[in-house]
Amino acid sequence: MGDLEVDLQGSVLRVVLNRPRVLNALTAPMVDDLTATLEGLSSRDDVRTVLISGAGGAFSTGADLSGTDAHESFDVSALDRANRLVRAVVRCDQPVVAAVDGVAAGVGCSLALACDLVVAAESASFLLAFARVGLMPDGGATATVTAAVGRPRAMRMALLAEPLSGSEAYAAGLVSHLCEDAAFAETVDALVRRLAAGAPLAQAATKRAVNAAALHHLEPALESERRGQSLLLRTDDAAEGMAAFSERRPPRFSGE
């Protein structure tokens, strides 16, 4: 089994982020493969719904920042890769569902929130962790989170890197569905089956119209995030934040 599992069951394309030992931290090949999978759906009529989930009780902790050279290897290409993935999720004609039964952090959170529907277990948590490593949210999160919960809560999540539990995320309007942990798999399966039985042309038109109304500022946000993150990646604070993350210690930011 690879780091990204793709399996067509009926007319539901089930995609599993499969690096449970590192809480499904995203590598460049994983992001590229997921993007290519979504972009390739425009030529397929056998897929009615896409389900993205994580293995081992987590969705994804975001970009893989492990190793001593994380700061050197994490550059603007990672931003372009994440932006392309988010665009693929939003532009995909089929409804895309994120199933989150654990942590969704960093760009993993951005990916989940770019999906059309998000099913959260009560044990789930949603975290814009970027501030903890001296960076800003990317992957379109400045647009999707603000559209969902408003400026005050978006600022709180982004500036303080405070997680929201599944229940808190649902109450805030960040996710579409909430369920008890024991009912998670059943709830997800029922939802994707219902979507797969729907009218695909109507679903595609509805998705385009809702996103045009709610996420009309997504493209400017992606470009703004790219500019800001590109600058931040060259700072001492980003290097310190990533080193501290790898070494499991509090960062010491200098403002440089």
pLDDT at res. 215? 96
pLDDT at res. 61? 96
pLDDT of 97 higher than 70: yes
pLDDT of 201 higher than 70: yes
Q: Confidence class of residue 32 from pLDDT cuts 50, 70 and 90?
A: very high
pLDDT at res. 67? 59
In tens, the pLDDT along 135-166 reads 999 999 999 999 999 999 999 999 999 999 99
pLDDT of 69 higher than 60: no
**pTM for the complete prediction?**
0.95
pLDDT at res. 65? 79
Q: Confidence class of residue 1 from pLDDT cuts 50, 70 and 90?
A: low
pLDDT of 123 higher than 80: yes
pLDDT at res. 211? 97
pLDDT at res. 46? 96
pLDDT at res. 246? 85
Mean of the per-residue pLDDT values of the chain: 94
pLDDT of 49 higher than 70: yes
How, if at all, do strands 125-127 and 164-165 pair? antiparallel
Q: What percent of the chain has pLDDT over 90?
A: 90
As a residue count, the chain comes to 256
Query: Tokens at residue 186, please?
Result: 């059943």
pLDDT of 71 higher than 70: no
Report which residue type is found at 173.
G
Residue with the bigger pLDDT between 252 and 68: it is 252
pLDDT at res. 43? 85
Region 221-243 average pLDDT: 94
Would you say the C-alpha torsion 27, 191, 186, 43 has a positive or negative sign? negative
Region 164-175 average pLDDT: 97
Q: Confidence class of residue 48 from pLDDT cuts 50, 70 and 90?
A: very high
pLDDT at res. 114? 98
pLDDT of 214 higher than 60: yes
Q: What percent of the chain has pLDDT over 70?
A: 96
Residue 244 φ/ψ region, left for φ over 0, alpha for ψ in the -120 to 50 degree band, beta for the rest: alpha
Region 172-178 average pLDDT: 97
Spell out the residues 6+ positions from residue 235 whose beta carbon is closer than 8 angstroms to its own: 134, 256
pLDDT at res. 70? 56
